[in-house]
């Protein structure tokens, strides 16, 4: 599927998921979803309920079988026939295993598919193709302290050492208060999985056994806000009375967990949530659910479920002295869209999320009358030995996005490259370099 065709497909798909009703099997579930508990606990079922409503089904409800972390979402046709969709949420890796043994039609994952999984599933088609790999939401964590704690920011290396129990007192961080008290979610929590993946595992560390574990996000947040020596990590909706601190990664500026910075994936503790659909064994319900998840209605469900939607909005950016002068000028006169275009690893090609975002950006530009010289693209990259090369590569990335927008009738105002300036992640790791290779969209 070409990029232009994909954009048309997505934009038209948002308006009408499927013209005809989806087929209902005589026996068994219409769709089987397995994988991430971050998605499967509530977001996945909520999206399924939205699709069933879109299909005109009645008496939609959830049923809980005897097995933990599994649900059935059930609807009924006007003729009284039950439609069942099964959701099993036992972890991202279980979704890919279920695709391999044909016990699932769709894998929900809170991480990108691994190379070994891609190879094991190659008989099902290319699971890295744009139609197969669907980013449905962005997730982010807040690091919370007691409101009286004077610390305003931490970096990811400090976080790893704190939660591994290597940094034991607030004084070691330049603060005060004595011993650090750790608060964490339990092992079954998707929030814990996120923190482990983004902070601990990347630095070869494990959570300290001294951490107090909580099943409830609300209880964890309240415990930290009542403990002057406490620190915890929590999903965005659960900061409550605690104090969220800004987080830096490598040489990046410290960033607060704002929805806009998570939507652009600049905030260090942000990650993508995926649906994976085997392209060579197609279940129409799986395809319909993925399309619904990308729609404005689906993204509204993403937001109400506590995650960050991919709906494109314009935001004002306050200029500061750490920005290059050209970027400061841009921020004074234009607004930035809540999306960054990023690129496939080791490639100048847009990654699959960027391909989906292209349709959303085009929709925003056209709906808001920005097709004639009202859009500026700004490219960034990772650190190179030759700054001139970094500048050139950053502008070439912006030109790659420009080509796609021009194909769809957008006349650009300007294309700029800022090289390796303003990193959002460390350049000492592959994941950070990939995050730094990005293109921002600004509108006048």
Length of the chain: 444
Interval 109-167: pLDDT, tens: 988 899 999 999 999 999 999 999 999 999 889 999 999 999 999 999 999 999 999 99
Same domain, 317 and 347: yes
Provide the pLDDT confidence category of residue 238 given band limits of 50, 70 and 90: confident
pLDDT score of 430: 78
Integer Cα distance of 381 and 433 in angstroms? 8
Q: Is residue 168 part of a domain?
A: yes
Query: Greatest CA span in the chain, whole angstroms?
Result: 69
Integer Cα distance of 201 and 211 in angstroms? 17
How is residue 122 annotated by DSSP? G
pLDDT score of 9: 44
- Contact by Cβ (8 Å): 190, 41: yes
Report whether pLDDT(345) > 80: no
Give mean pLDDT, residues 14-23.
57
281: domain CATH number is 3.40.190.10
Residue with tokens 């939401």: 137
Enclosing domain of residue 197: 140-260
Report whether pLDDT(219) > 90: yes
Q: Which of 74, 112, 89 has the alpha carbon at shortest distance from 43? A: 89
Q: Is residue 386 part of a domain?
A: yes
Q: Which of 170, 160, 238, 167 has the alpha carbon at shortest distance from 199? A: 160
Q: Is residue 267 part of a domain?
A: no
Provide the pLDDT confidence category of residue 298 given band limits of 50, 70 and 90: very high
Integer Cα distance of 171 and 173 in angstroms? 5
pLDDT score of 19: 38
The structure tokens listed for 101 are 């043994």
Interval 60-109: pLDDT, tens: 999 998 898 899 999 999 999 999 999 999 988 999 999 999 999 999 99
Q: Which residues contact 39 (CB under 8 A, 6 or more apart)?
A: 89, 108, 109, 110, 136, 137, 190, 273
Q: Is residue 265 part of a domain?
A: no
Comparing 331-340, 370-379, 384-393, 416-425, the range with the smallest average pLDDT is 384-393
Give mean pLDDT, residues 386-413.
94
Provide the pLDDT confidence category of residue 346 given band limits of 50, 70 and 90: low
Same domain, 342 and 427: yes
- Contact by Cβ (8 Å): 158, 294: no
- Contact by Cβ (8 Å): 339, 377: no
Interval 23-65: pLDDT, tens: 999 899 999 999 988 899 899 999 999 999 999 999 999 999 8
Same domain, 211 and 322: no
Number of domains making up the chain? 3
DSSP-derived pairing of the beta strands 230-235 and 181-185 = parallel
Q: Which of 237, 232, 269 has the alpha carbon at shortest distance from 252? A: 269
Same domain, 113 and 146: no
Same domain, 187 and 242: yes
Give mean pLDDT, residues 417-437.
88
Same domain, 199 and 168: yes
- Per-position DSSP letters for 78-121, written without gaps between them: TT--EEEEEEEES-HHHHHHHHHTTS-SEEEESSPPPHHHHHHT
Helix (H, G, I), strand (E, B) or coil at 206: coil
Neighbours of 243 (CB within 10 A): 18
Same domain, 286 and 341: no
Give mean pLDDT, residues 364-388.
94
Q: Is residue 270 part of a domain?
A: no
Same domain, 92 and 196: no
Q: Is residue 78 part of a domain?
A: yes
Q: Which residues contact 216 (CB under 8 A, 6 or more apart)?
A: none
Provide the pLDDT confidence category of residue 14 given band limits of 50, 70 and 90: very low
Same domain, 215 and 251: yes
């Amino acid at each position: 599927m070409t990029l232009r065709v994909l954009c048309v497909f997505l934009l038209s798909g948002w308006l009408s998921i499927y013209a005809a009703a989806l087929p209902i099997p005589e026996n068994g579930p219409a769709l089987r979803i397995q994988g991430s508990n971050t998605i499967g606990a509530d977001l996945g079922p909520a999206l399924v309920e939205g699709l069933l409503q879109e299909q005109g089904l009645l008496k939609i409800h959830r049923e809980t079988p005897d097995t933990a972390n599994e649900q059935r979402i059930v609807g009924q046709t006007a003729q009284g026939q039950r439609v069942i969709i099964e959701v099993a949420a036992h972890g991202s890796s279980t979704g890919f295993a279920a695709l391999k043994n044909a016990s699932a039609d769709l894998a929900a994952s809170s991480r990108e598919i691994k190379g070994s999984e891609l190879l094991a599933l190659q008989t099902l088609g290319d699971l890295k193709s744009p139609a197969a790999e669907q980013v449905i939401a962005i997730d982010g964590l807040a690091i919370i302290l007691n409101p009286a704690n004077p610390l305003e920011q931490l970096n990811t290396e400090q976080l790893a050492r704190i939660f591994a129990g290597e940094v034991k007192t607030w004084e070691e961080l330049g603060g005060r208060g004595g011993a650090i008290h750790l608060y964490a979610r339990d092992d079954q929590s998707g929030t814990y999985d996120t923190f482990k993946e983004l902070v601990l595992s990347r630095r070869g560390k494990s959570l300290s056994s001294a951490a107090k574990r909580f099943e409830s996000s609300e209880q964890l947040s309240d415990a930290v806000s009542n403990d002057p020596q406490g620190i915890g990590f929590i999903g965005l909706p659960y900061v409550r009375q605690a104090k969220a601190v800004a987080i830096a990664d490598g040489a990046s500026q410290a960033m607060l967990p704002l929805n806009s910075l998570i939507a652009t994936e600049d905030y260090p503790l942000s990650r993508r949530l995926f649906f994976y659909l085997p392209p060579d064994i197609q279940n129409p319900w799986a395809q319909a659910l993925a399309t619904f998840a990308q729609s404005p209605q689906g993204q509204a469900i993403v937001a109400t479920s506590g995650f960050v939607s991919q709906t494109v909005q314009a935001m004002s950016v306050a200029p500061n002295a750490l920005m290059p002068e050209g970027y400061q000028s841009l921020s004074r006169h234009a607004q930035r869209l809540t999306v960054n275009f990023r690129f496939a690893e080791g490639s100048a090609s847009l990654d699959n999320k960027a391909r989906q975002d292209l349709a959303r950006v085009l929709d925003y530009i056209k709906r808001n009358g920005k097709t004639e010289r009202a859009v500026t693209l700004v490219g960034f990259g990772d650190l190179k030995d030759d700054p001139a090369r970094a500048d050139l590569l950053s502008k070439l990335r912006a030109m790659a996005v420009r080509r796609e927008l021009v194909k769809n009738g957008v006349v650009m105002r300007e294309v700029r490259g800022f090289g390796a300036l303003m990193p959002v992640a460390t350049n000492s790791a592959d994941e950070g370099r990939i995050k730094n290779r990005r293109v921002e969209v600004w509108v006048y």
